[in-house]
Structure 1
């Protein structure tokens, strides 16, 4: 029963936290091995990881401090590796590559508006914004990973959630508390 409730919480986090601006496209047909928690988790963490990675990649040219550049650099390689795997599992699940959460405001999601602001910021303002976004993303990834590990059904997806959760926890340690 607890497992079902946590699965419902993951689904609720993935859609209930959205400020919907229009109809959400229906997912493609997922294979039987993927339950609704797996599907919701993949549809959420793929764009979360992709957008956080895009934000971190801006640091070499825009950050004001070497510590922020170094911390962002420590996020890039593991996030790229995990994103590649997440996209592969999403594709295997038969889910669309489109971001079904585009335009939604959710905890930990680096939005297109956030990325646009980062692209205009430099120095201390960039550093402050980037670190806040990456820390929020990492913390939310840890929460979502726990939900997938508890309530997901597909073994590779659950394993990947464990790795993503571990990486999120590592990022909360390597990212400065403030910039």
Structure 2
């Protein structure tokens, strides 16, 4: 009788141990499944965050326009320290006011395309962007003052704006992204108007 009871007790203990191991195995599998699900969900979210409604022309336009705008902003910032011409000071402030926010827009668009954020020195190696001033031209402008500075700045900014307009027209002809194309239209409208103003100012000087 004692042996029988012992066997029953041992059998019950073994059955309990098996049930405990099975339960632990179920919890592990369940947790593992949840981890995989979370990883897959995160990957899907990251993938869906990248836009696909763009082409190479859109990327080229944005990558080139960012440093192009950066140089225009640099030129605009020179004005207060080199001239007392109130009309030129006001125009330079407008250039900076328009183009600095567009640089932020360009950066955000490129990141939404899955492209690296641009820098003021970035662009396409091997060819010069339309309207960009050389380092020598920028140094010459920095060294000028008064009426000479006014004339140089206006002539250089007209050329700079014309280059931006050319790039914007290429974007409208070859790009597909609606946001990049809206930016291109804004560049054309604003900079054509500023070119007209600058030509008038040159005629008055």
State whether TM-score is above 0.5: yes
CA RMSD, Structure 1 to Structure 2 (Å): 2.3
Equivalent residue in structure 2 for 1:87, among 107, 129, 140:
107
TM-superposed deviation, 1:92: 2.4
Match of 1:97 in 2: 118
**Are residue 137 (structure 1) and residue 160 (structure 2) matched?**
yes
Partner of 1:59: 79
1:175 alignment counterpart: 198
TM-score of the superposition, structure 2-length normalised? Answer: 0.64
TM-score by length of 1: 0.72
Q: Which residue of 2 aligns with 1:11?
A: none
Q: CA deviation at 1:157?
A: 0.9
Give, in whole Å, the separation in 2 of the partners of 1:83 and 1:54: 13
**Residue ranges of structure 2 left out of the alignment (5+ in a row):** 1-49
> How does 1:2-151 map onto structure 2 within 5 Å?
32-93=52-113, 94-98=115-119, 99-101=122-124, 104-151=127-174
User: 4+ residue runs of structure 1 moved beyond 4 angstroms?
Assistant: none
Cα–Cα, structure 1 residues 64 and 173, in superposed 2: closer, same or farther, change >3 Å? same
The higher relative CO (CA closer than 8 Å, separation ≥ 6) is in 1
